[in-house]
Structures are given as structure tokens and as C-alpha cells.
Amino acid sequence: MVHFDLEKRFLHGGDYNPDQWLDYPEILNEDIEMMQEANVNTVTVGVFSWWALEPSEGEFTFEWLDRIFDDVHKFGGNVILATPSGGRPQWLSQKYPEVNRTNSLGQKHTQGFRHNHCYSSPIYREKVRIINQKLAERYGNHPALLMWHISNEYSGECYCDYCKENWQQWLKKKYGELEEVNKAWLMSFWGNKYTDWSQVLPPSPLGEHKVHGMDLDWKRFNTDMTINFYLNEIKPIRQITPDVPVTTNFMAEGHEQHDFIPLEGIDYGKFAKYVDIVSWDSYPDWNNNYESIAETAMKSAYVHDQYWSLKQKPFLVMESTPSEVNGHQFNKSKRPGMHMLSSMQQIAHGSDSTLYFQWRQSRGNSEKFHGAVVGHDNSRENRVFKEVSEYGSRLEKISEIKGATKDSKVAIIFDWDSNWALKRGGGFGRPTRQYPQTLQEHYSVFWENDIAVDIITSEQEFDQYDLLIAPMLYLMDEKTISKLSNYVSSGGTLLSSYFTGIVNETDLVNIGGWPSELQEIFGISLKELDTLYPDEFNSLKFQGKQYQIKDYSGIIDVTQAEVMGTYQAEFYKNTPAVVKNSFGSGQAYYLAARTNRDFLKDFYKPIIEKLYLANSLINEPKFEVSVQTRIKEGVSYYFLMNFSTDTQEVVLNKTVVDIESSEIIEGKILLNSYEVRVLKE
């Protein structure tokens, strides 16, 4: 077995489904040959292979997989072995229908598609444990085994009786007494107070679905259930292969709205504590028709940085596509050169891999047109195959960077609870809450300036950051409030905004309005929050310039803070819209209104200067060119990436070496369309 930490290469390869090709031995032979030609060193196998590993209950057929392990090992490759719980065999559902999920209307699923099992079912858990144990026993000592890939893209919820029972147990553990549930969820509203635990059902459109605290707890419960199921999966794996790291692939979402943000359904901040390495599946809409390439790159960078920050350690891109995707409304091919650029961006932001879904394109069903290294033409001459192979050979040349870390002085807080609560709550503008999207707007200023940013949860440490950005932190517990207070009073710079600190952990509005600790940090009190329709605007005057305000204007009173900007219209004309407060030895800024990016850029400029956050490598950062830094053993590695089709000139402040060509570079450097240069100091 190779030890992951000793693996000196970036991982390059991806999901391999030989189980779809068992009737075509010539294809399987060719795969192994072609992998070497494509400079692939890692394959993920077994993701949906349960049917082929255990064709009937208790009958195991590993021979086909033995062969894959051996063949991959022969050419020096690694195997990431998946546990197959993402898709179960027919016999399992037929004999034990309880393993199928029940929806919120109480309808039981039948066998089909994938990712739809019950997390509570004792039989499913036991069957998963058995197959995982068999896999660990069989391959635990195989020299090609690099890592475990647990299940696939965990998601979804189940409402069966087992899950109901677990839900009630979870609540008992959290609240102790039923009366505490009634209080935490304010069940006196509409008079649905519980008098017996058995009345506390999961939320359902046919029953209770209007209690916000309940919804929030249901989301938390589902995160815990998913983690609990995962912990059951890894039990035999930890016993048999304690040194082999485990991961599970996280996701991003939002394509239909042209967004690209981490998946909202599971609290990955919590989940990340239980995996050895964070990994995720990255499918941005490259070369789309609704935004610039650099804009797509910024969004993709944001998600990478968020997954980096969960452990502040290198992560893996477990899936990405070498060409087009299949599941969006429009699935465009990446333009020539985009594969190189978009994949290098993964490495630049802290990934130690570029893995694909998938190695070989499937012939049928849902994903038959999803891009793959080997297309339906089975050709080594096509553009995609060649670009993948070229990328693999470049990765080999920069392998000294593998394992390198990052150093950020700026952090943005993203809080899953706040996001769930903001999405659920009534009032204000329902479609304009846009919490992660708003964080991305703040992020974009730093991305444009090539300043590294971590995106952390409120549970993580704040002290290592010079600037902490926490807009719209809607739900706050006392711990977070006191962490923020300590952070600022001991010298930190904090920014927050409208929609911050409004509710407690169960989504109940704070009695008496805004918590007094927050009033002290920001030196203000809150009066009202005005909602604007999408075609309504206000404006704000800041340092002599006017900026548009959209969606939200918070009306505030200044108690201590210094006014930096004021509203220009409405009944709150001339009242403060942006303020700054000295608190202890730090500074706290409050943006009462939502602005566009132009304001954020001008607003952050002096803060960036004052805190010496500017990128030290380049002189005049621009949006189209991204510079990201990874650090290893005191050496800084710079990725210069041109996210535009124009040639871009960059002026360097330092003398650097191109690690691929050994060329020494000083001063000006020209980047061609989509070009990436990897330099070191």
C-alpha cells in the first residue's frame, strides 16, 4: 500500500467504471494502455459496483476488481477504492424494502437510480458494513490502494419510521424535556404544542412544515444522520486499514441560477471533521454565455477556497470534467486550453489532484454525453484526450508543489445554519436573501486583487486573520458573538452587515432587538430593515462618490461609531449607511445596505492598504489574471492564470523562476489567452 503522505505526485485520473465494460475484455486491456498515454496515475473504482461485487446476497465476486488493481499497479498507478453504498443491487431492495428511502409524503421508493437509501435502516447499514469489510479485507494490503472514497455524494433525506424514531431520539438528546422543544420552536404560535414525544414527526408538506426552528433542527439532524451513516461505513475500514485515508466527495450547486456555491443541504463544516482529506466534485460552467470567463473562475475559486478552509489542508478535486458536462441545461465543450487552465486553477487553490468523472464515457442512460478522457470514438487522437495527456505531463513537471499549503490573512465566515435559516424565513425579499452569493461579491474584490482568502465556519479560529468578513451572519449563538467581540477587541478588523445577529440558534428573534454585545462592537443600534423591489434603488454617498444600493437598506442609529457613508434618498435620507467603530484595539465596520461590487472595491481599498494585504508578487492586479500562491518548506509557488482570451501583461515585483522551463523572469511577463505559468521565488 502506498502511503498517501508519501505519494509525491499530484493525482491525475478519475472515476473508472470497468464494471460497465466487463463484456468487452479488449476495452479493459486498452484502458490500461491508454491511461499511461494520458499520463493518468490514479483511478477511482467501485463507486456503483455493488451489483458486480455481490451479485446475490453473500456471494462475492472480486476477480474482475482484482485484475483492475493488479493492472493499475503494474503501471505504477494508484487506486482510490469506493464503497458502493451510493447504488444498491436489486436483490437488496427486493428482499429488504426498508433500505429504500421514504419521501416526505410517506411514499416508499422502489429500487432504481441511486443515492436514495435510508440512512437509518439497520439492514442497509449491516449490508454496507459487510461489503465494506470484504473490500477492506481483500484490498487493504494491495500495493495500489491509496485511499477510500466513501459512498458517493451523500445527500437527501428519509422520512420512514426508523428515521422518525432517530429524529425523536436526536431531539431528546438535544433538548432533554419535551417542553424545551416547545419553547425552542415556539410551538405556542398557532397552538401546536406537543404533549407527547410521539407527536413530534419529521416535517412534511402534509403536516408540520411552518416551524422554522424545527426545519433548522431537521437539517442539523440530517447532517448528523449522514455523518452517522458514514461512520458506520468506515468502522470496518478503520479497523482493517487504519493507515489508509478516507474521504467522501462533497458537492457544489446552483447552475440553473448561474450560481456556483457549495452544496447547501449538508453542513460540510461539521462533516469535514470526520474525513481525513476533504474532496469535492467541481463542475463550473466554463465558457458559458452569461458571464465572463474570469467571473466563472472567481466563483470556482471561491468554492475551492471554501473546501480548502474546512481543514486548511490540501484537498482533492475528486471529479471534474475534461470537456463538457451532461446535466446542465446547456452543456458546452471547454474551449481549447480551458482544460489546462481550469485544472491548474484547482491545484493553484490547494488541490493535490485533478480527477475526472470519468475515464471512459458510458454508452447509455443519464450521463452518456458527459465528457470523459476516452470518448465514444475510443480515440487517442481527439482533442480532449490530447489535452488531458498534456495536462498530466505538466502536472508531473510541477510535482514538487504537491502537499504545499497556503497562507491567508483574510477570512470570510460562511455559516450553514444562517444559510438554512435565511432561506427558510419569511419577510423581506424572499428571492434576494442570496447569502452565499453576497459573500462571493465580497470575495471577488480580494480575488481580483490576488489576495488569498479562507472561507471558514464560525466554529473555526479567527485569531490568525487580520481581516474577518462576516456579512449576513443572521443566526448567532452567544459563543460566536463573544468570539467576534474578543477578535475585535484584541486588534482584529471585522466587517459585518444588515441581516447579522437577528436570531438565536433555533431561529427565534432576539428579545429586545439586537444583542447588546453587537451594539457595542459596532457602536450602533438597529432601527429598521427596509426591503427594495428588484427595480428599486437607493444610493449611498461615500468619500464624495455615489454608489447604488439594492435589495436591502438597514436603518441604524450611531451610538459610538464614525459615519463613513450616508443614504441619499427615502425617509432615511442622510442617515448612516456605512460606519466604522473602534472597539478595544480593533476596528469594526458595518455595512447597513447592499451595494454593488464597485462600492466594495472602493471600500476595501484603504483597508487592504492599512493591513498590508496586497499581493507581494505583482504590481497592478486585474480581474482577468489570477495569482494564487502555495507555500512549501519556505518556498512560495505562484500560479499566474489568464482567464481571458486576450494577451495580458503582468508586472512582477520579484525575480522568479518558471519551474517547468527554468527560465528566470523579471519585470514584465506576457500571458497568452488561457495561459498558466507556474513560478517560484
The cell for 275 is 474525513
Rounded to the nearest 5 degrees, what angle is found at the Cα of 408, between the Cα atoms of 501 and 354? 110
491, interface contact from Zn ion, ligand GLA, none, CB < 5-8 Å by kind:
none
3-state secondary structure 140-189: CCCCCEEEEECCCCCCCCCCCHHHHHHHHHHHHHHHCCHHHHHHHCCCCH
Total binding residues for Zn ion by CB under 5 A? 6
370, interface contact from ligand GLA, Zn ion, none, CB < 5-8 Å by kind:
ligand GLA
Residue 658 has phi, psi (to 5 degrees) of: -75, 120
Measured from the CB atom, is 369 or 514 closer to ligand GLA? 369
Tell the smallest beta-carbon distance from residue 113 to ligand GLA (Å).
11
50, interface contact from ligand GLA, Zn ion, none, CB < 5-8 Å by kind:
none
Q: Which of residues 359-388 bind ligand GLA (CB under 6 A)?
A: 367, 370
Q: Which amino acid is residue 116, in one-letter code? A: N
Give the containing element (helix H, strand E) for 394.
helix 383-397
Measured from the CB atom, is 250 or 522 closer to ligand GLA? 250
Measured from the CB atom, is 133 or 155 closer to ligand GLA? 155
Measured from the CB atom, is 317 or 410 closer to ligand GLA? 317
Measured from the CB atom, is 21 or 603 closer to ligand GLA? 21
Tell the smallest beta-carbon distance from residue 316 to ligand GLA (Å).
13
Give the containing element (helix H, strand E) for 317.
strand 316-319
Cβ–Cβ < 8 Å for 436, 262: yes
Tell the smallest beta-carbon distance from residue 327 to ligand GLA (Å).
5
Instruction: Sketch the per residue contact string, 146 through 185, with Zn ion: x for CB under 5 A, - otherwise.
Output: ------------x-x-xx----------------------
357 binds ligand GLA (CB under 6 A): yes
326 binds ligand GLA (CB under 6 A): yes
Q: Give me the residue label for grid cell 493492472.
A: 71
285 binds ligand GLA (CB under 6 A): no
The cell for 552 is 436591502
Nearest-angstrom CA–CA distance, 579 and 591: 7
Query: What's 304's DSSP letter?
Result: H
Tell the smallest beta-carbon distance from residue 99 to Zn ion (Å).
9
153 binds ligand GLA (CB under 6 A): yes
Nearest-angstrom CA–CA distance, 501 and 484: 11
**Within a 10 A sphere around the Cβ of 504, how many other Cβ atoms?**
17
User: Would you call 208 helix, strand, or coil by DSSP?
Assistant: coil
- Active site positions, annotated: 153, 319
Tell the smallest beta-carbon distance from residue 358 to ligand GLA (Å).
7
163, interface contact from ligand GLA, Zn ion, none, CB < 5-8 Å by kind:
Zn ion
* One of 20, 44, 152, 581 touching ligand GLA (CB under 6 A): 152
Q: Which of residues 607-626 bind ligand GLA (CB under 6 A)?
A: none
Q: Which residues lie across from 549 on neighbouring strands?
A: 538, 595
Cβ–Cβ < 8 Å for 163, 102: yes
Measured from the CB atom, is 11 or 659 closer to ligand GLA? 11
Tell the smallest beta-carbon distance from residue 48 to ligand GLA (Å).
7
**Within a 10 A sphere around the Cβ of 491, how many other Cβ atoms?**
12
How big is the chain, counted in residues?
681
Tell the smallest beta-carbon distance from residue 321 to ligand GLA (Å).
7
Q: Give me the residue label for grid cell 486573520.
A: 465
624, interface contact from Zn ion, ligand GLA, none, CB < 5-8 Å by kind:
none
469, interface contact from Zn ion, ligand GLA, none, CB < 5-8 Å by kind:
none
281, interface contact from ligand GLA, Zn ion, none, CB < 5-8 Å by kind:
ligand GLA
Torsion from C-alpha of 598, 603, 608, 614, nearest 10 degrees: 10
Please report, for the chain, how many H helices and E strands are present, in that order.
17, 29
Q: Give me the residue label for grid cell 428482499.
A: 95
330 binds ligand GLA (CB under 6 A): no
Measured from the CB atom, is 120 or 642 closer to Zn ion? 120
158, interface contact from Zn ion, ligand GLA, none, CB < 5-8 Å by kind:
Zn ion
Cβ–Cβ < 8 Å for 151, 81: no
327, interface contact from Zn ion, ligand GLA, none, CB < 5-8 Å by kind:
ligand GLA
Tell the smallest beta-carbon distance from residue 254 to ligand GLA (Å).
14
User: Based on the number of CB atoms within 10 Å of its own CB, is 426 exposed (0-12), middle (13-18) or buried (19 or more)?
Assistant: exposed
Measured from the CB atom, is 162 or 357 closer to Zn ion? 162
Measured from the CB atom, is 25 or 327 closer to ligand GLA? 327
- Residue whose beta carbon is closest to ligand GLA: 281
Q: What is the spatial order of strands in the sheet that 42-45 belongs to?
A: 246-247, 145-149, 78-82, 42-45, 11-16, 353-356
* One of 208, 264, 305, 319 touching ligand GLA (CB under 6 A): 319
Query: What's 222's DSSP letter?
Result: H
Q: Which of residues 505-524 bind ligand GLA (CB under 6 A)?
A: none
Q: Which of residues 95-124 bind Zn ion (CB under 5 A)?
A: 118, 120
Q: Which amino acid is residue 190, in one-letter code? A: W
Cβ–Cβ < 8 Å for 314, 245: no
Segment lying near ligand GLA (by CB under 6 A), choices 66-74, 211-219, 319-327, 610-618 = 319-327
Tell the smallest beta-carbon distance from residue 318 to ligand GLA (Å).
8
Question: Cβ contacts of residue 171 below 8 Å, gap of 6+?
Answer: 181, 197, 200, 217, 221
**Within a 10 A sphere around the Cβ of 583, how many other Cβ atoms?**
20
Tell the smallest beta-carbon distance from residue 153 to ligand GLA (Å).
5
Measured from the CB atom, is 12 or 580 closer to ligand GLA? 12
Cβ–Cβ < 8 Å for 578, 558: no
Nearest-angstrom CA–CA distance, 247 and 143: 19
* One of 76, 122, 207, 327 touching ligand GLA (CB under 6 A): 327
Nearest-angstrom CA–CA distance, 122 and 377: 45
Tell the smallest beta-carbon distance from residue 251 to ligand GLA (Å).
7
Measured from the CB atom, is 371 or 565 closer to ligand GLA? 371
Give the binding site for Zn ion (CB under 5 A).
118, 120, 158, 160, 162-163
Give the binding site for ligand GLA (CB under 6 A).
152-153, 281, 319, 326-327, 357, 367, 370
